[in-house]
Amino acid sequence: MTIYRSRDGLRHQFRDVLNFYYPACLDTATGGYVAQLDERDGHVYDARTKHLVATARGVHNFSLGVLADGPHWCEYAAEHGLQFLSNAHWDDERRGYDWLLDGRTATDRTRYCYGHAFVLLAGARAYQAGIPDARAVLERAFDVLEERFWEPDHDLYADRATPEWRTVSSYRGANANMHACEALLAAYEATGDDRYLDRAYTVADRFTREVTSATDGLLWEHYTEEWEPDLSYNEDQPRHQFRPPGYQPGHHVEWAKLLALLSDYRPAGWLRERARDLFDTAIDLGWDDDHGGLYYTVEDDGEPIVPDKYGWVHAEAIGASALLSRDDESYVDWYDRLWEYAQEHLINRRFGNWYERLTREHDRDGPNHGPEVEPGYHPLANCWLAARALEDDPDLFETDRERRD
């Protein structure tokens, strides 16, 4: 039985991840965060590059630290990052968030829905945590998403635009809409404003039930302007960093998590049924029976395309299994199994942070030393969700007293 069925176990892992990034991540000279920490020993390999997603995720992480009664410095760290996000990343002339900075100088101003969704998420969690000016960040990000990316003819968001907003790409992506749904749910939790919940429900319903009917309910990643699946997209680049071809078990479990959360606020029976279906599909297609763990990308019959094991995939599966366990105790077994796998292979035993990627056989082939976008966001978010699930139904989990006894 895993130690992560207890509040103490989850709190310990949560703080380990925060402690890996703090205080090294604080850029006190330029502002914002230094996200490029080597996952093996924590040394900074790039102190200049500031990625919009990494900045927003950092604000989210430290805001969760406040909400989870974490270390006292979480509030300062969240406020520090939020100020940089709302000033350095924001292009006031063109009214959008810059994608990539060198220090405080924009080097890529492409407008990504994905990035703006994470700003909305950061603003929502910071507002929940009582960070000053967070509500303004939340509302500004939502306004940009609605005015620039929302397509009412499709009830989904477009993917990206040029810096001056003159041209919107014909590419349509599942990932941007998934994270927009996540951020909208957080905005609803923070504010109680139904417009965020309504939009989250619309995106979830449209994508996970209607769009995916073209691929027998499986979640394809890449679409045309009319939201038809582009099955040949990047087929010659199976290891593309952000947009690989194939089906991703990790996104199936991530959507399962979001549908389970959405069902807490909307009494629609299909939500939990579809959540279970997506989680079960991820396991059926993606679990490596020989070496353990979930593949990164697969064909529709489960044949692996990229058999690597990513930390974020398993963190999301943990969060999803915790939430699904509230209705079906069989998912507790997967919760345990996933934590055991993470402990054995994915968690750095020295520092407690999670490795980004392993080979199928769990070898580390060297860190990715490009611009960082994952400063512990997935394990922190899903530790927090697991703790919420424990509070909702403590009988499904071992209590702290039982563990001590």
Which residues are known catalytic residues? 251, 378
Strands (DSSP E) contained in 144-256 are 150-151, 156-157, 160-161, 172-173, 222-223
CA dihedral 198, 205, 67, 348 (to 10 degrees): -160
DSSP 301: T
Q: Distance of CA 175 to CAs 149, 190, 365, Å?
A: 14, 23, 26
Q: What is the DSSP string of 33-60?
A: B--EE-TTT--EEESSEEEHHHHHHHHH
* Cα–Cα distance, 282 to 190 (Å, whole number): 30
Q: Are 219 and 248 in contact (CB under 8 A)?
A: yes
Residue 158 one-letter amino acid: A
Q: Are 398 and 1 in contact (CB under 8 A)?
A: yes
Q: What is the DSSP string of 270-291?
A: HHHHHHHHHHHHHHHHHB-TTT
